[in-house]
Structure 1
Amino acid sequence: MQNASLVLYPYLCQEVVGTEEHVNTIRMMNTIRDHLESDSMRTIITSGSFGEGLDMRGSDLDVMIVLQYLEVCEKIHDYLNFVKVYFKMEMEDTQPGFSKLRLVQTTDWYFCRDCDVVGCGVYLSNSFKQRFVHDFFPTVHGPCVSDEHGNYDLALCLHSKLWITPAEQWVTRSSNSWPSYDVKQAIVKHGVQFVPIGVKGSTQEELEWRISFSVGEKLLIYTFTHTHNCYVMQSRKFF
């Protein structure tokens, strides 16, 4: 078994994952490109395998576009920036990992065409992503809009700057040395994203948004050794 592992590791480095230097180079390039393409209106996050630096052949390019003028809050605080649109999380009647987003403040009433009135509340529909369908990205693929060949997936996301209560236990639970305190704090600092897709078959599917920890997952992958990365990619390839 040890001899097989010694043979398999170089193969994975050359044919599947790439060398450790190659992985680090891709990560650095992603960071630079994301920074250059981001502005005050949107933050670009390269995600998926390529975003992790694990360039698996045949995989598509996944990009999250976080719209900065839209913000989600678990609890509404006293100070709201008047130039932003705010939503409040409502999870009482949704499955774990999903939330409805109730409109709290907006100065852009044109934006309300993407909202539905339910009872006394106004909620953002996840059909919001349809607004970004055009010639280059003509297909809706889950929470994303995709090109016709399936090479690029763009997910339009909303963001909560603060860590949310349902995930608080992950931060406070006892653990050994992984992940480190600093890594946990970096993940918490990035908050969480909300991507436009609901629970299939739900009676309120179009009003549900999936809570995404994609940035945190990427930061955890960054702590892996290169051997761990090879194992992860090999597992994804077969499972």
Structure 2
Amino acid sequence: MNVLGYGPHIRQARIEAYKASDRHNTAKARGIVTYITTGSKAEGLTSYLESDVDKLFVTESVICLEDGVDSSSVPVKKTIFRSCSRISYSGHCRLLLEKPGTPICRTVYNALCDDGFGRGLLSSDLFVHQFLRREGRVQHERAGPSTPETFGVLERDTVHALHFYCPSILTRWAARHRYWPSADVVREVVSLGAFVSPVGVKGSDYEHVEWRMCFNTGENVLINNLNDTQVKLYVLLKMVKKDVLQPQKKEVTSFTVKNIVLWIAENNPHSLFHERSLFHWLHEGLYALRVAIDTKELPYYMIPGRNLMAACALDHEQKRSWIATIDEMMTEGPRSILRLPKIRQAIIAHPEPLRWYSGRKIENEMLMLIYMNRFDLGVDEDTDVILQALLRRQLEILLEIRMRMIMEGSRVNDLWSIRNSMLM
């Protein structure tokens, strides 16, 4: 798995590169928006073009407060909303306007409606729809709170969110008895706070005005504090989801798998997770996934009252088929990983060519991450010596790969196609 790009060094390089990119873009936004990379890119688990880039754009002029929190210390320029979760599904809330800022953000103002009692209520539907159909990019159909976009070969899922100050929720999470994470990590997660994203509960009478509580930055920290075995368990379960179960309507997602791994890590001594125990934990992870599919219940790691399987469109036949498949994998034991195409190809490949190609693939990706951050800094591609050097080295790698491919009988000649294939 290290050869395939899941080793600790390349993971850390990806994590640091996307953190730096977020810092550069946030600085350019001059206090209007904070950029946060989330999902597999922030976790360092996918290469440059392997999957969508998940981005959180957080509006800085607005803050949402949990009920009971004093608002007197909030700067006068900020718009304040008060969360109302008493009649909302767990992990969701409605946002009532407490005080408009000076001035109030245009996208927030345009999303205000009346709650029927003369109070301003922030509509999640009206808010997210303002970010659709923008010029200069290819946009796709809204997916939950996100607005998917295409920039050339890059796919990006963007969620426009608001800060949410909820000390009681985070205090309850921090107070749980656990084996993991450490007290220092728990304090860091609490200090990072929360957000609300514009999506309600499917089928709810108030879906169009409900907002979902999320803890993206804290979850990034948690995943990045898993040990190597726990990370590889997470990767294998994601492969099972994608390549074996192959959900078509997000009945099971990477977020589902992430929560299973976080619960397993919290409830078991950290010393039990080592490279010789990986297949044991894969069996445990498959069993937890089977239970979640069978019962349609999986508590959210940060707010256990929220059931992540509640709204999944899982019919009886599909559920029965998936349970049978998972049962077979659990019976097969370690051989079950041969069902995963990426792992199977690595096992049957000759070690020398695999290591040779893997080294160049990882170097090419590292060069691309450096290029991304130089671009975000706004340097001139024609005069920047670092960009010129990395582009020369990237060309050397691509020419070397193409030569070996030709020697082995391939007719591929397009360096651009080779480059993109290596980044996937």
TM range (shorter): 0.7 to 0.9
Counterpart CA distance in 1 for 2:189 and 2:166 is: 9
1:52 aligns with 2:55: no
Q: Is the 8 A contact 1:86 1:103 kept in 2?
A: yes
- The code of the aligned residue for 1:14 comes to V
Q: Is the 8 A contact 1:60 1:150 kept in 2?
A: yes
Q: Is the 8 A contact 2:170 2:190 kept in 1?
A: no
Counterpart CA distance in 1 for 2:169 and 2:35 is: 26
TM-score (normalizing by structure 2):
0.50
TM-score (normalizing by structure 1):
0.87
Match of 1:159 in 2: 163
Q: How far apart are 1:79 and its partner, in Å? A: 2.8
Tell me how many residue pairs correspond in the alignment.
225
Q: How far apart are 1:58 and its partner, in Å? A: 3.4
Q: How far apart are 1:21 and its partner, in Å? A: 0.8
Q: Aligned-pair RMSD on alpha carbons?
A: 1.9
Pair 1:130–1:150, CA change in 2 (3 A): farther
Counterpart CA distance in 2 for 1:76 and 1:108 is: 21
- The code of the aligned residue for 2:91 comes to G
- What are the Cα deviations for residues 142-192 of structure 1, in whole angstroms up to 9, with x where unaligned? 1011115882100001012x444234321112223x211111111111110
> Which structure has the larger Rg?
2
Q: Is the 8 A contact 2:65 2:166 kept in 1?
A: no
Pair 1:187–1:119, CA change in 2 (3 A): same
- The code of the aligned residue for 2:232 comes to C
- The code of the aligned residue for 2:234 comes to V
Pair 1:118–1:220, CA change in 2 (3 A): same
Q: Is the 8 A contact 1:157 1:194 kept in 2?
A: yes
**Matched position secondary structure for 1:200:** coil
1:88-107 paired onto structure 2 within 5 Å: 88-106=82-100, 107=102
Counterpart CA distance in 2 for 1:167 and 1:94 is: 18
1:171 aligns with 2:174: yes
Q: Is the 8 A contact 1:163 1:189 kept in 2?
A: no
Q: How far apart are 1:82 and its partner, in Å? A: 1.7
**Matched position secondary structure for 1:151:** strand
Counterpart CA distance in 2 for 1:113 and 1:209 is: 16
Greater CA drift, 228-237 or 56-65: 56-65
User: Structure 2: any 5+ residue segments left out of the alignment?
Assistant: 242-424
- The code of the aligned residue for 2:196 comes to F
Counterpart CA distance in 2 for 1:183 and 1:155 is: 26
1:2-81 paired onto structure 2 within 5 Å: 12-15=1-4, 17-38=5-26, 39-55=30-46, 58-74=50-66, 75-81=69-75
Counterpart CA distance in 1 for 2:32 and 2:187 is: 25
Pairing partner for 1:213 from 208, 212, 215: 215
Pair 1:228–1:65, CA change in 2 (3 A): same
The 4+ residue runs of structure 1 with deviation greater than 4 A are none
Greater CA drift, 47-56 or 72-81: 72-81
Counterpart CA distance in 2 for 1:89 and 1:142 is: 20
1:132 aligns with 2:134: no
Pair 1:227–1:218, CA change in 2 (3 A): same
Match of 2:144 in 1: 142
Of structures 1 and 2, the one scoring higher in RCO (CA 8 A, sep 6+) is: 1
**Matched position secondary structure for 1:147:** strand
- What are the Cα deviations for residues 98-155 of structure 1, in whole angstroms up to 9, with x where unaligned? 0111111113465422111012221111120111121325332210111158821000
User: Structure 1: any 5+ residue segments left out of the alignment?
Assistant: 1-11
